[in-house]
Amino acid sequence: MNHTSTTTNGFAEQKDLHFGLEPASMKLRHVVESQQFTLPLLMDLFTRSRGMERIVARGGSLDHQNRILATLFYAPSTRTRFSFEAAMYKLGGRVLSTEQARAFSSEVEGERVEDTIRIIGGFSDVIVIRHHEEDGAQRAAAVSPVPIINAGDGCGGQHPTQALLDLYTIYRMRPLDGLSVAFIGELDKGRTVRSLAYLLGKFERIRIFFVSPPELQIKPDILEYLDRRNVQYELESDLNKVVGEVDVVYQTRIHPDRGADLPVRQKYAINSSILQRMKPDAMILHPLPRTVELDKTVDSDPRALYFRQATNGLYVRMALLTMLLESQ
């Protein structure tokens, strides 16, 4: 664990302070963006997540029986919401739930998320928010009397727990140092790719291939960050060239309205021919939901881990909840 090199990264350090992170005690107040997670904090989280696997296998705990989680989803996402709520249940807690908070807030002109958070924070112990604006979670954290977890904000925003469960899924299979990863699909707007690339930059001897149509390639800010961290990377437009070389194939969806018609989207799809070129011990990840870019026939391949990602999300979110509830 490389404590010093992480905190000498100016950007990360600034963020840590902003969200009340004190590296010495590793106390976590809010989870707003993946930049908050230092290497020691990641290792603490993953160790806890392993423990959560054992707790779930035993049927869950009742340790947080009196604590209340509120999910405040301004944009609906049944799976992400259920994952957080199930995590709270497995810890013994209770859940206040919204499926579509935006319908409610639209009834009032000028309604501000800050007031809502201050009120709901008055009768809950932790709030999971998915907001339609990019700074929604950060604005919530700035005023909240209880911990905030960002469950996705805006289109180009953050979704830090997705990146954490992605990384945990890889970590459960092999050491993270020395990993080679191909990110495939619509990379410029892909918040899961951006966040995971950020986290990978904290490890040693990482190699990344960004594979996409040139007009949808990863943005320079991530590449500059990887340069600072001495991470090797390549930009590539041909999936076939790199798929045999990597340990992780991280597939994402290309939205049809991004100017990519079906033949383009199929050119970047994972199918049986791509499977044959992959390493025998590679991993296929996808944040889901999927469309044409990930064929159903892949599901039965032992390298397909995308449904295991969902279960790992339960463990990682349980671990995060315990860290936040205990730091209160």
Site for a second copy contains 307 (CB under 8 A): yes
> Does residue 86 bind a second copy (CB under 8 A)?
yes
Cα gap 41→202, rounded to integer Å: 12
The yes or no reply on residue 310 touching a second copy (CB under 8 A) is yes
Using the minimum distance from each CB to a second copy, give the nearer residue, 9 or 322. 322
DSSP 298: G
Report CA dihedral (292, 295, 296, 301) to the nearest 10 degrees.
-150
Residue ranges in 229-271 assigned as alpha helix (H):
239-242, 262-267
3-state SS, residue 128: strand
In the complex, minimum distance from the CB of residue 307 to a second copy, in angstroms, rounded to a whole number: 5
Residue in 4, 24, 25, 108 binding a second copy, rule: CB under 8 A: 108
Residue by residue, what is the 3-state secondary structure of 262-293? HHHHHHCCECHHHHHHCCCCCEEECCCCCCCC
**Which one of residues 4, 24, 57, 78 is an interface residue with a second copy (CB under 8 A)?**
78
Does 116 contact a second copy by CB under 8 A? Answer: yes
Check binding of 109 to a second copy (CB under 8 A). Answer: yes
The reply to whether 96 sits near a second copy by the rule CB under 8 A is: yes
Per DSSP, 218 falls in state P
Q: Shortest gap between Cβ of 322 and a second copy (angstroms)?
A: 16
Stretch of residues binding a second copy (CB under 8 A), selected from 16-24, 94-102, 154-162, 225-233: 94-102
Q: Is 288 in the site for a second copy (CB under 8 A)?
A: yes
- The answer to whether residue 263 forms part of the interface with a second copy (CB under 8 A) is no
Q: Are 70 and 297 in contact (CB under 8 A)?
A: no
